[in-house]
A and B are shown apart, each in its own frame.
Chain A
Amino acid sequence: ETGVTQSPTHLIKTRGQQVTLRCSSQSGHNTVSWYQQALGQGPQFIFQYYREEENGRGNFPPRFSGLQFPNYSSELNVNALELDDSALYLCASSSRVSGNTIYFGEGSWLTVV
């Protein structure tokens, strides 16, 4: 069984730029959630995608957007990057079989300078 995979693992961007992070869900999982984890903090929910549509959103501005593809993989896009966007971005997948349990990838470390 393939777990959740994310890319890239690390990246550095300049303030004002845009970034795209990618996630492949665990085999058999059709729901993908994205979380932001600032240094020393717990993960904060950004949004969730199910059947290619946004299915819940946390307290993040519209410059955080996403997509889900027919194969259930997903992208997180962040426009107009700010210094405070520097964080670990975690993707998690789940399915009806996994119930309300989500399984995380290793994350993408984003540094904004």
Chain B
Amino acid sequence: NAGVMQNPRHLVRRRGQEARLRCSPMKGHSHVYWYRQLPEEGLKFMVYLQKENIIDESGMPKERFSAEFPKEGPSILRIQQVVRGDSAAYFCASSPRSWQSSYEQYFGPGTRLTVT
């Protein structure tokens, strides 16, 4: 059973460009969370999605950031007009939300975004 997949693993963008980060959850998981990790800090929640729905986006900046999880295909975190402060590791986690194991979140390897 493959784990959470994220691509690309490393992404370099110049200031003002767009960054698209992709996340494929574990098989059978229909809930996806995005977290951001700044150097030497813990992970900060950004957005929680279910298929075709945004459940909670309270941690996501109001401007330039958006996320989706379509019926088919991976979840996408999109950052428009990137700035140097967006440089960080972005992690996706998925959860089964089954009644037996509703709470566990399993993380992908992350995408390390560098803005030059």
Q: Do A and B associate with each other?
A: no
Q: Report A's interface with B, CB cutoff 8 A.
A: none
Q: Report B's interface with A, CB cutoff 8 A.
A: none
